[in-house]
């Protein structure tokens, strides 16, 4: 519904609806009342006529034409008027009828009186006491129109408080993007509350989508920047080795050494790209992807895979570790990197994986008998592209950074120290709550 090219406001619609409802009610009441009152009044008039005719209830009205009673007697045989009181009634057969005399409607009862050769006596009374007489129709119409106007006015006034929550919601919506990105809940009408909740939920989804997009862009930028920085050196070395092979006719021994350098550089490039991709994936972790992780099963799998890849003994002690909520691939990557770090850079031959709960935390401890790490480097090596002084050549410098990232994603942290087996001890703390929480206590 529009008016001059614009949709009508809700307030106007409520007023029009109230007016229409009032008009329908008035029309129905008028129709029903018309039928009921007309039948009732006609019955009353007929009973009054009977009383007057019998001169039992209202005898004085037969003597006084001013009371609106007409009385006309005619000869049954000749039709001549024998007597009359008031205006003369027209000739009528026996029975009841409504006639007009001098512009006034009368309800007339005609009876036969057996005297003087038979006389037809007609007695009439005014019919304008009927509520729905034609004379009163304008009055009824005026009252009905007045009722509709009153209903429309009341609808207009009462619609104001009713639509106030919608007006507040509209005002808040207009302010979005103009210095305010928040929408306060609206109260006062169920429909407005439902709409407010839906819009708040939509804004939350948009904010989450925007955050995800920002994280994706940041991850891509970090990946590109780190890759450009870290790959420059190995790629330059590979290009120099390739130029050497192309330009010089080297002896077999020197040629094999250059090819070996190329293979090591290629492995380093591959390791850097893989680690950077894993870091970017960690930045894009979503809460809805979290699921329950069986800690003992995960540690067993890490142990089996690393035992097959090298001459190392791995012992798992996690019978009562239970389950935690998290990202299975990410948590497994963190533990796997700790084990591989011990084997590759610590040259450990024995590793013990332990897991125990101390609510609200789960602690995963990795002890090895390797060559360890100086205490002053325990924090430094957790940064990106940071390598310990005891690390072997060819690493990406991102393994422990990935562990720190996954620990933070799981609401915990990572701490390195000297281990009881003579090598390094790494303690990974993970929150056991359904949602990640910040680590607020020191790991044992």
Q: Using the predicted structure, report yes or no on whether residue 415 has a pLDDT greater than 90.
A: yes
Of the listed ranges 99-103, 232-236, 364-368, the least confidently predicted one is 232-236
Q: Is residue 176 part of a domain?
A: no
Q: Using the predicted structure, report yes or no on whether residue 387 has a pLDDT greater than 50.
A: yes
Higher pLDDT, 287 or 340: 340
pLDDT for the residue numbered 285: 66
Q: What is the mean pLDDT of the chain?
A: 75
Q: 414 and 280 share a domain?
A: no
Q: 210 and 299 share a domain?
A: no
Q: Can you give the CATH number for the domain in which 210 is found?
A: 1.10.287
At residue 441, what are phi and psi to the nearest 5 degrees?
Answer: -130, 160
The phi-psi region of residue 241 (left if phi > 0; otherwise alpha if psi is between -120 and 50; otherwise beta) is alpha
Q: 247 and 316 share a domain?
A: no
| Token pair in block for residue 373 | 């790490």
Q: 299 and 428 share a domain?
A: yes
Q: Is residue 4 part of a domain?
A: no
Q: What CA–CA distance (Å, rounded) separates 91 from 81?
A: 9
Q: 249 and 101 share a domain?
A: no
Q: Using the predicted structure, report yes or no on whether residue 351 has a pLDDT greater than 90.
A: yes
pLDDT digits (tens, 9 = 90+) for 212-226: 677 666 656 665 665
pLDDT digits (tens, 9 = 90+) for 49-73: 666 665 433 445 444 444 567 777 7
Q: Is residue 51 part of a domain?
A: yes
Contact of 312 with 348, CB cutoff 8 Å? yes
Q: Using the predicted structure, report yes or no on whether residue 379 has a pLDDT greater than 80.
A: yes
Q: 45 and 93 share a domain?
A: yes
Q: Is residue 412 part of a domain?
A: yes
Q: 278 and 295 share a domain?
A: no
296 pLDDT band (50/70/90 cuts)? very high
pLDDT digits (tens, 9 = 90+) for 36-53: 666 666 666 676 666 666
Q: Can you give the CATH number for the domain in which 411 is found?
A: 3.30.565.10
Q: 312 and 411 share a domain?
A: yes
Q: 305 and 411 share a domain?
A: yes
pLDDT for the residue numbered 421: 92
């Amino acid at each position: 519904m529009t008016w001059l090219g614009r949709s009508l406001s809700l307030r106007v619609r409520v007023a029009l609806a109230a007016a229409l409802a009032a008009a329908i009610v008035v029309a129905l009441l008028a129709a029903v009342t018309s039928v009921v009152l007309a039948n009732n009044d006609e019955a009353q008039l007929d009973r009054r006529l009977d009383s007057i005719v019998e001169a039992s209830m209202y005898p004085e009205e037969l003597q006084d034409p001013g009371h609106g009673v007409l009385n006309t007697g005619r000869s049954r045989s000749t039709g001549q008027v024998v007597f009359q009181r008031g205006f003369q009634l027209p000739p009528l057969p026996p029975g009841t009828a409504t006639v007009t005399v001098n512009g006034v409607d009368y309800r007339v009862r005609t009876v036969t009186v057996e005297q003087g050769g038979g006389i037809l006596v007609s007695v009439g009374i005014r019919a304008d006491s009927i509520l729905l007489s034609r004379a009163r129709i304008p009055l009824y119409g005026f009252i009905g129109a007045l009722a509709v106007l009153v209903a429309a006015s009341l609808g207009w006034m009462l619609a104001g408080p009713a639509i106030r929550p919608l007006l507040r919601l509209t005002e808040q919506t207009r302010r979005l993007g103009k210095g305010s990105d928040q929408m306060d809940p609206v109260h006062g009408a169920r429909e407005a509350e439902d709409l407010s909740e839906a819009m708040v939920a939509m804004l939350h989804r948009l904010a989450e989508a925007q955050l995800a997009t920002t994280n994706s862009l940041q991850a891509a930028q970090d990946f590109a920047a780190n890759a450009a920085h870290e790959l420059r050196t190995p790629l330059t070395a590979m290009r120099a080795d390739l130029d050497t092979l192309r330009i010089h006719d080297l002896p077999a021994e020197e040629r094999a050494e250059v090819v070996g350098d190329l293979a090591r550089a290629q492995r380093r490039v591959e390791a850097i790209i893989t680690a950077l991709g894993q870091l970017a994936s960690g930045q894009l972790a979503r809460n809805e992807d979290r699921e329950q992780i069986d800690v003992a099963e995960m540690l067993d799998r890490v142990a089996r895979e690393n035992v097959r890849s090298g001459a190392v003994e791995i012992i798992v002690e996690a019978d009562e570790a239970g389950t935690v909520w998290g990202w299975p691939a990410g948590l497994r990557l963190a533990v796997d990197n700790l084990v591989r770090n011990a084997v590759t850079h610590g040259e450990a031959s024995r590793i013990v994986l332990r897991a125990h709960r101390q609510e609200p935390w789960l602690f995963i401890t990795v002890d090895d008998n390797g060559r360890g790490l100086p205490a002053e480097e325990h924090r430094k090596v957790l940064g990106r592209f940071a390598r310990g002084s005891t690390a072997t050549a060819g690493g990406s410098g991102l393994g422990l950074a990935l562990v720190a990232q996954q620990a933070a994603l799981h609401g915990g942290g990572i701490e390195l120290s000297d281990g009881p087996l003579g090598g390094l001890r790494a303690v990974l703390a993970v929150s056991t709550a359904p949602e990640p929480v910040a680590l607020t206590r020191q790991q044992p």
